[in-house]
């Protein structure tokens, strides 16, 4: 067996640094330069983590499904690596929504959890993609893994509107969209600006995380290749 080569050294990830810096800036602005909300007080600051995380989670899963769909036709391993990375990052952000939401709910609604439509939808999204990751984990073979998880990713995307619809009919308590509200913005402009800044920051952060995770997947696949390609007595 050849010397196990260490993963190739990558140049410093300036992009990640930038993303972290912008996110930090968004927070500095949110915490010190944006007034607290009148009724909710400082608890409302959670919004700046909560809503952008939700946005990124949806984005991540949408892209996972898209990458899967393209994989089925192009069979390009890079698409699968992207789907894998995006799903994992998406689960992290969904978890952030599911943690920040209850943290916020406790002081505002007086309960950690309620079976509101949006909460439920988020929870099931989380389940679907946890399932996605588990499925990936039990299929050792790379092509089969890419193929089956692509199918699951696409069906998952089809599922979201149905869950949305059915839980919406069930009952709802969560604030209606504040930004994309037909009656116009319902936040003071300074808050709205901070709000969008945070969205932008989180989107950057998503891109940076996926990029790093993707690089890891590339290295891992390359490493597997060098390990396994060793001749082994004709077997």
Ligand X SMILES: Nc1ncnc2c1ncn2[C@@H]1O[C@H](COP(=O)(O)OP(=O)(O)OP(=O)(O)O)[C@@H](O)[C@H]1O
Chain residues binding other proteins by CB under 8 A are: 72, 102, 111-113, 115, 120, 123-124, 127-128, 130-131, 134-135, 137-144, 147-148, 150-152, 154-155, 158-159, 162-163, 165-167, 169-170, 224-229, 231-235
Shortest distance (Å) from residue 95 CB to other proteins: 13
Our separate counts of H helices and E strands in the chain read: 6, 0
Q: How many CB atoms lie within 10 A of CB 10?
A: 11
Q: Which of residues 106-145 bind ligand X (CB under 6 A)?
A: 141
Name the closest residue to ligand X (Cβ).
235
Half-sphere exposure of 172 (CA within 13 A, CB side): 13
Identity of the residue, 6 or 229, whose beta carbon is nearer to other proteins in the bound complex:
229
Identity of the residue, 140 or 184, whose beta carbon is nearer to ligand X in the bound complex:
140
Quote the CA–CA distance of 148 and 72 in Å, as a whole number.
10
B/e letters for 63-93, b = 16+ CB within 10 Å, e = fewer, are bbbbbbbbbeeeeeeebbbbbbbbbbbbbbb
Identity of the residue, 199 or 216, whose beta carbon is nearer to ligand HEM in the bound complex:
199
Structure tokens at 34: 């944006």
Q: Are 54 and 179 in contact (CB under 8 A)?
A: no
Considering Cα of 109, then 114, then 115, then 117, what sign does the dihedral take?
positive
Q: Does 117 bind ligand HEM (CB under 6 A)?
A: no
Shortest distance (Å) from residue 174 CB to ligand HEM: 6
Q: Does 101 bind ligand HEM (CB under 6 A)?
A: yes
118-121 CB contacts, 8 Å cutoff, 24+ apart: 118/167, 118/172, 118/174, 119/174, 120/163, 120/167, 120/170, 121/160, 121/163, 121/164, 121/167
Quote the CA–CA distance of 66 and 90 in Å, as a whole number.
14
Size of interface with ligand HEM, in residues (CB under 6 A): 22
Shortest distance (Å) from residue 180 CB to ligand HEM: 6
Shortest distance (Å) from residue 100 CB to other proteins: 14
Q: Which of residues 31-90 bind ligand HEM (CB under 6 A)?
A: 47, 50-51, 54
Q: Which residues bind ligand X (CB under 6 A)?
A: 141, 235
List residues near ligand HEM by CB under 6 A.
Answer: 47, 50-51, 54, 97-98, 101-102, 104-105, 108-109, 113, 118-119, 122, 174-175, 177-180
């Amino acid at each position: 067996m050849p010397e196990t080569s260490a993963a190739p050294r990558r140049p410093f990830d300036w992009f990640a640094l930038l993303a972290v810096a912008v996110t930090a800036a968004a927070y500095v602005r949110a915490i010190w330069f944006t007034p607290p909300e009148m009724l909710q007080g400082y608890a409302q600051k959670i919004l700046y983590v909560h809503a952008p995380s939700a946005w990124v989670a949806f984005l991540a899963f949408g892209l996972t499904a898209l990458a899967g769909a393209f994989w089925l036709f192009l069979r390009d391993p890079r698409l699968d690596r992207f789907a894998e990375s995006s799903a994992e990052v998406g689960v992290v952000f969904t978890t952030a929504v599911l943690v920040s939401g209850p943290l916020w709910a406790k002081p505002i609604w007086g309960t950690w959890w309620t079976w509101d439509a949006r909460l439920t939808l988020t929870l099931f999204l989380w389940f679907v993609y946890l399932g996605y990751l588990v499925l990936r984990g039990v299929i050792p073979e790379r092509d089969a893994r890419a193929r089956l998880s692509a199918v699951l990713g696409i069906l998952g995307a089809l599922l979201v509107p149905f869950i949305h619809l059915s839980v919406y009919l069930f009952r709802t308590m969560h604030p209606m969209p504040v930004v994309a509200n037909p009656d116009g913005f319902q936040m003071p402009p300074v808050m709205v600006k901070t709000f969008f800044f945070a969205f932008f920051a989180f989107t950057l952060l998503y891109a940076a995380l996926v990029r790093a995770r993707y690089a890891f997947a590339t290295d891992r696949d390359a490493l597997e290749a060098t390990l396994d390609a060793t001749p082994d007595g004709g077997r």
